[in-house]
């Protein structure tokens, strides 16, 4: 891992987190607290053992196991208090990492399927967002995503985004798309919902190019109007796509630890992150589902610094890119850039 001075520098850098799932940010301690609150069990998780490390607490070996665990955690969310608690808990961890702004993905359809009404979600997300800003000075905004193999979620998800905007003005940044892209599906049924979202000022921020190849990224760009891509690391398989992303300024949200854990790449040392940057692509680092992948945003910076021998200049540029590629208000972006410029380089030698 980096030297103590470089690690302190990384933590001090003002950063934005642009690829982070709310349900996937629930820690083992919080998951147990919610399960006990509602008298639920979590498969394979000892509700009385808060001392277990993350991998013991959240065991999975493949993407299917990851999804089962993700759904089990989500099953503990029922009331506005539950949703507000996980939002504020996330904000506490973000501010400790130097994150002043985050665009957080939330999946309304997952909870609609569990017969959770909109009201507790709307109230809880809004309350948690207010606490995050007032108590921790972390600005959170939402990306509401559709599970790609369930296109019938598209209209209800857009309707939820509209309801959230009415309930908490300015809180929604975009519409997303997630789920297993390597399973057969079509994006055509989603075009209208994304077009309507764009017409209403929301951005198209789908996942693509993670478990499947460039064709999914082309779909996201051409059919959905994507202005930023979640993951996108497999774009390098198509030089024409790389050129399109570069010339159009379509940024990638790259999550190295997630990619390793889900076998998108064999190891961090073999991750294409340096090649993506060498190709002139815009990108930021993300933590995806931090407790599930034993990471957080600071750890992502530390791991890539160690894996690729990157020093302060490259790390500072990644932090700056995260601010520039976000959709945060201009005044907050300016303040974060000023704070970033004020962080001194670590002493070397």
Q: List, for residues 295-309, the tens digit of each pLDDT value.
A: 999 999 999 999 999
The CA R_g of the chain, rounded to the nearest whole Å, is 19
Determine how many CB atoms are found less than 10 A away from the CB of residue 85: 21
Helices 154-167/118-136 angle, 10° precision: 50
Determine how many CB atoms are found less than 10 A away from the CB of residue 340: 19
* Dihedral angle computed from the Cα positions of residues 48, 54, 55 and 61, in that order, rounded to the nearest 10 degrees: 100
Mean pLDDT score, 161-186: 93
Helices 118-136/80-95 angle, 10° precision: 30
pLDDT score, position 50 = 65
Taking the C-alpha atoms of residue 251 and residue 144, their distance in angstroms, rounded to an integer, is: 19
Position 316 pLDDT exceeds 80: yes
Mean pLDDT score, 189-196: 96
Position 329 pLDDT exceeds 70: yes
Determine how many CB atoms are found less than 10 A away from the CB of residue 126: 19
Taking the C-alpha atoms of residue 173 and residue 158, their distance in angstroms, rounded to an integer, is: 12
Catalytic residue IDs: 210
Distances (CA, A) of 126 to 20, 129, 212: 17, 5, 34
Tokens read off for 56:
């013991």
What would the pLDDT profile of 230-289 be if each residue is shown by its tens digit? Answer: 999 999 999 999 999 999 999 999 999 999 998 999 999 999 999 999 999 999 999 999
Q: In a 10 Å sphere around its CB, with 0-12 CB exposed, 13-18 middle and 19+ buried, how is residue 25 labelled?
A: buried
> Against a cut of 0.85, is the pTM above it?
yes
Instruction: Let me know: does 282 contact 249? Beta carbons within 8 Å.
Output: yes
User: pLDDT confidence of 52, banded at 50, 70, 90?
Assistant: low
E strands in the chain: 15-21, 99-106, 139-147, 172-178, 203-204, 207-208, 228-231, 251-254, 283-285
């Amino acid at each position: 891992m980096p030297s103590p001075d470089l690690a302190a520098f990384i933590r001090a850098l003002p950063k934005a987190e642009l690829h982070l799932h709310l349900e996937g940010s629930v820690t083992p301690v919080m998951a147990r607290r919610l399960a006990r609150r509602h008298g639920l069990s979590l498969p394979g998780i000892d509700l009385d053992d808060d001392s277990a490390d993350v991998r013991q607490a959240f065991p999975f070996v493949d993407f299917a196991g990851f999804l089962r665990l993700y759904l089990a955690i989500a099953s503990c969310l029922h009331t506005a208090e539950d949703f507000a608690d996980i939002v504020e808990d996330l904000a506490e961890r973000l501010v400790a990492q130097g994150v002043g702004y985050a665009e957080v993905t939330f999946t309304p359809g997952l909870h609609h399927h569990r017969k959770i009404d909109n009201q507790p979600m709307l109230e809880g997300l809004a309350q948690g967002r207010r606490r995050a800003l007032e108590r921790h000075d972390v600005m959170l905004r939402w990306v509401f995503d559709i599970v790609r193999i369930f296109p019938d979620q598209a209209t209800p998800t857009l309707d939820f985004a509209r309801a959230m905007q009415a309930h908490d003005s300015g809180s929604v940044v975009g519409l997303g798309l997630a789920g297993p892209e390597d399973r057969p599906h079509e994006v055509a049924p989603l075009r209208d919902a994304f077009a309507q979202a764009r017409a209403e000022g929301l951005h198209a921020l789908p996942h693509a190019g993670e478990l499947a190849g460039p064709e999914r990224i082309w779909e996201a760009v051409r059919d959905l109007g994507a202005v930023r891509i979640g993951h996108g690391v497999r774009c390098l398989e198509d030089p024409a796509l790389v050129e399109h992303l570069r010339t159009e300024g379509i940024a990638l949200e790259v999550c190295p630890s997630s990619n390793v854990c889900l076998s998108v790449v064999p190891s961090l040392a073999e991750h294409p992150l340096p090649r993506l940057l060498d190709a002139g692509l815009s990108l930021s680092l993300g933590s995806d589902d931090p407790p599930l992948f034993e990471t957080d945003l600071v750890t992502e910076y530390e791991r890539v610094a160690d894996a690729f021998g990157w020093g302060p200049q490259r790390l500072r540029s990644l932090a700056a890119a995260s601010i520039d590629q976000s959709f945060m208000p201009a005044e907050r972006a300016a303040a974060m850039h000023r704070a970033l410029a004020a962080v001194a380089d670590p002493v070397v030698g």
